[in-house]
Amino acid sequence: MGIGPKPPALGRNVLKFRKQRDLSLEELAQRSGVSKAMLSQVEQEKVNPTVAVVWKIAHGLGVSIHELLGSPEETKRRIEVTRKENATVLREESCEVQILSPIEMAEDLEFYFVRFNPGGSLVSSPHFPRTEEFTTCLSGVLEITSGEGTVVLNPGDMAHYTADVAHAIRAKGSAPAEAFLIVRYAK
């Protein structure tokens, strides 16, 4: 019997992240696509799951595989970089949205850089209950509408508003506009 590195505390980490997010086994099963029975066995360290199963669980919890397999000390020390040329950019007719947050943060905390063409807009249907958005105007003039409320932002201004109702960001006037947009989902 050889001496090797100690395996990661996968079961303990899955349980920890699940409890932090206040998820039941059934909710995590729905979010991850891994059966409730398999999740229970993983948490109890009764099975050695495949990489695909670990990836699905990490995605369902909104964490990286490194976080799920590693210790908190290891995750605090890492720095992840996404180079501009590798960033995901969604181009629409009236604006361009660059995704700045890692994919594992989707539907938790999302961070975007948005470039609006003159008169361009980003119109959204209601998100999940209690979702909030934070928009900081970097250049140009923006109009934010959330439900029945409307405000105008100049460069340096920031708006915090509910996003579980229909909402929109519009560039006002004949100049382009730029903004940082943060979407925070309720736990």
Determine the pLDDT at residue 3. Answer: 61
Same-domain pairing of 125 and 156: yes
33 vs 51: which has the higher pLDDT = 33
In the predicted model, what is the mean pLDDT of the chain? 89
Is residue 52 domain-shared with residue 99, that is, in the same domain?
Answer: no
127 shares a domain with 99: yes
What was the pLDDT predicted at 133? 97
pLDDT-derived band of residue 146, with 50, 70 and 90 as boundaries? Answer: very high
Both 70 and 88 in one domain: the answer is no
pLDDT, residue 72, reads 52
Q: Are residues 28 and 45 in the same domain?
A: yes
What is the mean predicted confidence (pLDDT) over 12-29? Answer: 90
Work out the average pLDDT over 167-184.
Answer: 96
- 26 exposed, middle or buried (CB, 10 Å; 0-12, 13-18, 19+)? exposed
Task: Provide the CATH number for the domain around residue 50.
Answer: 1.10.260.40
pLDDT at res. 87 = 83
Average pLDDT over residues 70-89: 71
Examine the domain organization and report whether 91 and 180 are in the same domain.
yes
CB 137 within 8 A of CB 110: no
Number of domains in the chain: 2
Would residue 23 count as lying in a domain?
A: yes
- Mean local confidence (pLDDT), 68-94: 76
Q: How confident is the model at residue 117, as a pLDDT?
A: 97
Residue 149 sits in which domain range? 84-184
Mean pLDDT for the stretch of residues 95-121: 90
Residue 76 pLDDT > 60: no
